[in-house]
A and B are shown apart, each in its own frame.
Chain A
Amino acid sequence: MKNNLENLRQKLKITQGELAEKLEVSRQTINSIENGRYEPSITLAFKLSIFFNKKIEEIFIYGE
């Protein structure tokens, strides 16, 4: 599943480590999500949605 996480993060000018710390996950988790290697749980998807103030479907692109 593709996602816009990297773009959204870069717009806020924060590092993967900083985002990971805010969401209480490891930096590797953020890196893996950005690269499409790992699909986050629904809980983490909601945390990202709340953090970026975007709908989940604006962050994650289903079916591509």
Chain B
Amino acid sequence: MFKKNKTIVQPIVYIVIGITIILLGIFLPIKSAMQNYSGILLGIGSGIFGGGIANMLEYFQKRKNSDAWKKVDIERNDERNKFLHYKIRSTIYGINIYIISFLVIVGLLTNLPIWAPLFLAGLQLFNMVLYVWLFNKNNKAN
């Protein structure tokens, strides 16, 4: 359901957290053990700050032009769009299984370091274990 006041708190929180992390990245690392993490903090802070600004702009645009944004919300929450979204993700997952399996074989047949195909095989195994675990979890919940 479309609500005008739904998102105003979220962007403010994001902006405050983003600025805090950016300031941490700028000031705290000076002559401290955190100096190496300055770039990471600036990157994470900028990302959160940017997200907050985007949400804030969206909020004000919704206030100005609520009818147009109602349509955007309908498109976002439309059940067929969600169905297609899940179906596409499922297809991509299926394709990725074949791609990773192919890369494991290629890795074993070429002169790549042994850790590369083993890593991919491990990733494949992790995906399958995760799939079974999530299936069982959802099977009980639904």
**Residue ranges of A at the interface with B (Cβ–Cβ < 8 Å):** 20-21, 24-26, 28-29, 32, 38, 40-41, 43-44
Contacts and interface: CB of A to CB of B under 8 A. Distances in A.
Contacts, number: 27
B74 interface: yes
B142 to A, nearest CB: 14
Interface residues of B, number: 9
B35 to A, nearest CB: 51
A24 B83 CA distance: 16
Interface in B61-77: 74-75, 77
Contacts of B78: 25-26, 28-29
Contacts of B79: 25, 29, 40-41, 43-44
Nearest to A25: B78
Contact of A32 (B1, B75, B77, B80): B80
